[in-house]
Structure 1
Amino acid sequence: MSRNLAADLREPDDFISDPLQDAWTPELVLERMVEAFEILPHISGTVGPGRFTTTWPAVFRDLSMLVGELFSDPGKDPEPPPIRPRPPTADEVARAEEALCWPALYLADMPKAADALNVWAACKASGRSIRKTMEDRCRRATARAQMTELKQKAKRRRIAAGVAAWANAEIAKAAGDQARVDQVKAEAHDRLRDELEKADLIVVRLITPEEAMPGIVMSKDSLDWQRYRAAEQIVARLARHHSGSGASPSSLSTQILSIS
């Protein structure tokens, strides 16, 4: 997601009680994230009660876009995430809003871990294969890398064609003056090098999938490590906020600010 989601949030100063929660653990964070992504379609405006769409914060719109990316294939209609059998309650919506803000609020300095947590939770909530999702992402990144290379080669050809057209015109003007022809050829060589250097195309550089789509190419094992690392970090930062604010762990929540 290109937006700096942390800019849409501020540190919590209002709290939502959760009587069932006594302490934060990585497993509880992961469970809450899955629950939140199950509820997200209802509160993002794609399905469910319309009352949740009027003041929808950018952080949730971006998460909805992530879900849309995960459930779409080029050339096919998007595959909608499964719908919960009943609309969420107000308490469930509040819990979902709280959890969906955690990656943006507490993992702003760990973007890969935040992405892994969001992708894992979205897949778990929908029943979509995590391995297939990561393979699909890798294929998209590989295709983008290949397209970037093709664009580089096409630009090199355009530059070379422009220099060749200039050189041919000058040679035609030389009217058999071999000295002038040799001069034009030397100038053409220099022009081509200068133009390619200016365009950073002296060499067509191999673009890796990781470079083409930074941060999203991961193996299933890497995603599992990153998402658990993210959950541990959220626990640590929730505990840090608790120790500094005097609020109980069971009452900690984030307050979301919508931006126009």
Structure 2
Amino acid sequence: MNAHAIAIPGYLGPADELASRIAAIGEGDIPTSWTPEHVQNRMVEAFDILARSGTRVGPRQHANGWPAMIHEFSDLVDAQARALAEKEKQQERAARPTADELSRMNEALKWPMTYLDGRPMQSDALMLWAYATALGRDMSAMLHHRKKKAMALADEIMRRHNAPPHIHEGVVMDTRDPAVVDAYLRRVEIAREVAKITNDALARASKTTHGQIKVHAQSIFRARCREEGCLPLAVKPHEAVPGRCLSRTNLDRQRRAAAGVVAAQLCRGGVPVR
């Protein structure tokens, strides 16, 4: 460290020494100003407090169904059960968040809504990472599940948008925009025209070139649709579900950016560090 550097609790080096800063904060030190690392630690703490606030101890099982041969031990067993139940109650009381912890939790959980409005990807990344870290969840499994849901939704959006119009007794009965229906009908016309040309070409060509002809036909179809503005709707998973982090690399990048934004806004607003 530079000899002229100011010693700040929780800050052991230049801004790029993230490992040192995280280690210092993790030991309980509070920096004199908001840092992205402290913001992330507070978010993890918030979800931990939230989980503890909902802790419940389920009903205990009784020994009424035990065999008669061990009923003489029932008094001892009941005493042990009562002692265990009392210990669990004490642990539950100890685990319950204090008023100060609940205050810190509420403060931190409001940050994404307050400071990340209009940044859905960053907000989502910070919240998901903090939740998974606090509860010890498998991040890869969570992201895989979210990606599958996003892909399924994207497919459903495309299917509904690009579907044939509903026609009853020759009348189009469709709630979609008329332009969507017109685009579908035009794609059908183009497909027929391209199919006719393709079939003629296939009839004259050798079987070894059939694959190339079909690929070329698809290119022609898309080019014609593009020219006439009737391409089928294509939706990517992240477009179907805005704010979803679909890879671990992207999540880590976005949650760090989110923590930086929140820290800067807290500093700018003069919010006391705690």
TM-score by length of 1: 0.55
Letter in 1 for 2:170: W
**Pairing 1:40–2:50 present:** yes
**Pairing 1:133–2:142 present:** yes
Runs of 5+ unmatched residues, structure 2 = 1-27, 57-91, 185-231
Matched with 1:250 is 273
Shift in Å at residue 38 of structure 1?
1.0
Measure the CA separation in 1 of the matches of 2:55 and 2:109.
17
Residue 253 of structure 2: which of 215, 225, 249 is its match?
A: 225
Measure the CA separation in 1 of the matches of 2:36 and 2:151.
33
Residue 25 of structure 1: which of 35, 59, 66 is its match?
A: 35
Note the alpha carbon deviations across 1:10-56, whole angstroms, 9 max, x for none: xxxxxxxxx9534221111111100101112355xx556xxxxxxxx
> Against the structure 1 CA distance between its residues 25 and 197, is the aligned structure 2 distance closer, same or farther, given a 3 Å change threshold?
closer
Note the alpha carbon deviations across 1:137-185, whole angstroms, 9 max, x for none: 110011111222333355x252xx43xx329xxxxxxxxxxxxxxxxxx
Whether contact under 8 Å (1:134, 1:217) holds in the other structure is yes
Residue 216 of structure 1: which of 244, 253, 256 is its match?
A: 244
> Against the structure 1 CA distance between its residues 205 and 96, is the aligned structure 2 distance closer, same or farther, given a 3 Å change threshold?
same
Whether contact under 8 Å (1:209, 1:217) holds in the other structure is no
> Against the structure 1 CA distance between its residues 226 and 84, is the aligned structure 2 distance closer, same or farther, given a 3 Å change threshold?
farther
1:179-194 alignment, distance < 5 Å:
none
Aligned residues: 164
Shift in Å at residue 104 of structure 1?
1.0
Note the alpha carbon deviations across 1:96-146, whole angstroms, 9 max, x for none: 111111111111132211111001101111111222211211100111112
Measured on the aligned residues, the alpha-carbon RMSD in Å equals 3.2
Whether contact under 8 Å (1:107, 1:113) holds in the other structure is yes
Further displaced range: 87-96 or 196-205: 196-205
Further displaced range: 203-212 or 93-102: 203-212
Whether contact under 8 Å (2:46, 2:108) holds in the other structure is yes
TM-score by length of 2: 0.52
Q: Percent identity?
A: 36
Measure the CA separation in 2 of the matches of 1:146 and 1:109.
25
**Pairing 1:198–2:175 present:** no
Query: Based on CA coordinates, which of the two structures has the bigger radius of gyration?
Result: 2
> Against the structure 1 CA distance between its residues 31 and 84, is the aligned structure 2 distance closer, same or farther, given a 3 Å change threshold?
farther
